[in-house]
Amino acid sequence: MNQNRRIVVTSLAAAAMSAGLPLPALAQKKIVLGFSQIGAESEWRTANTESIKSAAKEQGIDLKFSDAQQKQENQIKAIRSFIAQKVDVIAFSPVVESGWGTVLREAKAAKIPVILTDRAVNEKDESLWVTFMGSDFVEEGRKAGRWLLENYKATGDVNIVELQGTVGSAPAIDRKKGFEEIIKAQPRFKIIRSQTGDFTRAKGKEVMEAFLKAEGKKINVLYAHNDDMAIGAIQAIEEAGLKPAKDIIIISIDAVKGAFEAMMAGKLNVSIECSPLLGPQLMQAVKDLKAGKTLPKRIVTEESIFPMDVAAKEFPKRKY
Ligand code: GZL
C-alpha cells in the first residue's frame, strides 16, 4: 500500500474508531486460519477440501491450507508452521486418533485456539481444543448394522467381510464399533474377514480380491467403511464373475456421487450419509471464536441413509 493510501486508511480508521463505528472493511485485519487436511484419499476428502476452501473465500478468511498426504508427521509439521506464523486459529482433521498431545500443547502455549473437524483425537485433556465438529461415526456404523438386520432376507448363517478405514482413525474404530454393537443381536450375522483398505478404491479392490480368493462364494455381505473402498471392491467382485449387490450385498458409508452412480447401476445396496460439507460451519465457528463467542464442545452433523431404490430420485439434489 503506497504512503498516501496508508494515510487515507489510517484517518478513516481513526475517524471510525473515535465515532465508535466498526472499522471500515478495508482496515479490518483478515482472520488467518491454518488448516491441516489429511490428504486426497477419497471422493469424500476432495469434497471436504472444496467445501473448506470455498467457504473461506466466501467468508473473507485468509486460509493457509496444507495437504498431509495421509501422514501424521506432515500434519504435525503443518500445525507447528501455523504456530510459527502466529495464525489466529488452527483447524485440522486428525488422520489418526492418537499422538497429538505434544503439538496441541504447543498451540495452547502459543494461545492459538484449535478446532477439530471431521475426526476426533483421543487426548484426555479436552482443553487442548475449542470444539470438535463432525459426524457421529458410531451411529453411522449402527445405521449400517440396522439396515442389514432389517433388509437381509435369506435365512441361515450370514458371512460378512469388512473393509475397514485407515488403521487407528476415528471413523474406522467407531464405524466398526457401531456395526458390531447392532449385529451382535443376531449371532447368525458373523464377520468372517476384516482388514483395512485405507479408505481408497485401489486398496479396497486389492483386499476384496484377497477376501474372494480365501472365502469365495461363502461371502454373503460386504460392509465397507467408505464408498471408495466399496467401489474398488465392486470391481473385484465383477472380475470374480459375481454380481455385486445381488450375490454379495454391499453396504457402505459417505454417500458420495460415486456411490449414487453405483446404486443407480444396481451394484451397491445402500450408502449411509457422512457429510463432508463442513466448510461453512467451520468458518462460522472461526468468526464466532474471534468475536469472543463461546463454542459448544461438540457440533454434530445431521445425516441420512440412502438405499438403492431412492438413489435416482435423490441424486440430482446431491451437493457432493
Ligand atoms: C469421515 C472421513 C472419512 C470418510 C472417508 O468423516 O474422515 O475419511 O468416510 C475419508 O471417505 O477418507
Judge if 149 and 171 occupy the same domain: yes
Judge if 220 and 147 occupy the same domain: yes
* Atom nearest to 253 CA in ligand 1: 9
Instruction: Look at residue 320 and tell me if it is in a domain.
Output: no
Measured in Å, residue 99 CA sits from the centre of ligand 1 at 19
> What's the rounded Cα separation, in Å, for the pair 103 and 35?
14
Specify which residues 300 forms β-bridges with.
Answer: 134
Nearest to 162 by CA among 81, 224, 251: 224
Judge if 141 and 203 occupy the same domain: yes
Sequence-ordered list of residues with C-beta below 8 angstroms from that of 202, at least 6 positions apart, any chain:
232
Judge if 147 and 257 occupy the same domain: yes
Q: Ligand 1 pocket test: which of 96, 226, 251, 282 has the largest number of ligand atoms within 8 Å of its C-beta? A: 226
Instruction: Look at residue 75 and tell me if it is in a domain.
Output: yes
Determine the pLDDT at residue 20: 60
Q: What share of the chain is helix, strand, coil (3-state, %, to 5)?
A: 45, 20, 35
Sheet architecture: strand order including 189-196: 189-196, 158-164, 221-224, 249-254, 270-273, 305-307
Measured in Å, residue 19 CA sits from the centre of ligand 1 at 49
At 157, phi and psi to the nearest 5?
-65, 145
* Atom nearest to 119 CA in ligand 1: 7
Report helix, strand or coil for 3: helix
Judge if 79 and 130 occupy the same domain: yes
> What's the rounded Cα separation, in Å, for the pair 141 and 252?
9
pTM: 0.90
Measured in Å, residue 116 CA sits from the centre of ligand 1 at 14
Instruction: Look at residue 6 and tell me if it is in a domain.
Output: no
Judge if 153 and 220 occupy the same domain: yes
Measured in Å, residue 44 CA sits from the centre of ligand 1 at 6
Q: What is the CATH number of the domain that holds 36?
A: 3.40.50.2300
User: Tens of pLDDT along the chain (320 residues)?
Assistant: 444 443 443 455 455 556 665 555 455 789 999 999 999 999 999 999 999 999 999 999 999 999 999 999 999 999 999 999 999 999 999 999 999 999 999 999 999 999 999 999 999 999 999 999 999 999 999 999 999 999 999 999 999 999 999 999 999 999 999 999 999 999 999 999 999 999 999 999 999 999 999 998 999 999 999 999 999 999 999 999 999 999 999 999 999 999 999 999 999 999 999 999 999 999 999 999 999 999 999 999 888 999 999 999 999 999 99
Instruction: Look at residue 172 and tell me if it is in a domain.
Output: yes
Nine-digit cell at 204? Answer: 479396497
Nine-digit cell at 231? Answer: 467401489
| Number of domain units in the chain | 2
Instruction: Look at residue 10 and tell me if it is in a domain.
Output: no
Q: Ligand 1 pocket test: which of 36, 38, 43, 45 has the largest number of ligand atoms within 8 Å of its C-beta? A: 45
Determine the pLDDT at residue 18: 62
Last residue within a domain, chosen from 233, 257, 274: 274
Instruction: Look at residue 40 and tell me if it is in a domain.
Output: yes
Measured in Å, residue 171 CA sits from the centre of ligand 1 at 7
Q: Which domain holds residue 160?
A: 137-274
Judge if 260 and 183 occupy the same domain: yes
Work out the number of other CB atoms within 10 angstroms of the CB of residue 304. Answer: 12
What is the C-alpha R_g of the chain?
23
Asked whether the beta carbons of 267 and 294 are under 8 A apart, the reply is no
Instruction: Look at residue 13 and tell me if it is in a domain.
Output: no
Judge if 101 and 188 occupy the same domain: no
Instruction: Look at residue 312 and tell me if it is in a domain.
Output: no
> What's the rounded Cα separation, in Å, for the pair 145 and 181?
8
* Atom nearest to 225 CA in ligand 1: 9
The tally of CA atoms less than 13 A away on the side-chain side of residue 285 is 26
Report helix, strand or coil for 235: helix
Judge if 190 and 285 occupy the same domain: no
Judge if 242 and 287 occupy the same domain: no
Determine the pLDDT at residue 23: 52
At 255, phi and psi to the nearest 5?
65, 45
* Ligand 1: lining residues by beta carbon, under 6 Å: 41-42, 44-45, 118-119, 134-135, 171, 199, 226, 228, 253-254, 274
Measured in Å, residue 199 CA sits from the centre of ligand 1 at 7
Residue nearest atom 3 in ligand 1 by C-alpha distance? 171
Last residue within a domain, chosen from 274, 289, 311: 274
Measured in Å, residue 269 CA sits from the centre of ligand 1 at 19
Parallel/antiparallel/unpaired status of strands 270-273 and 305-307: antiparallel
Judge if 129 and 145 occupy the same domain: no
Measured in Å, residue 142 CA sits from the centre of ligand 1 at 16
Locus of grid cell 480380491:
209
Judge if 154 and 177 occupy the same domain: yes
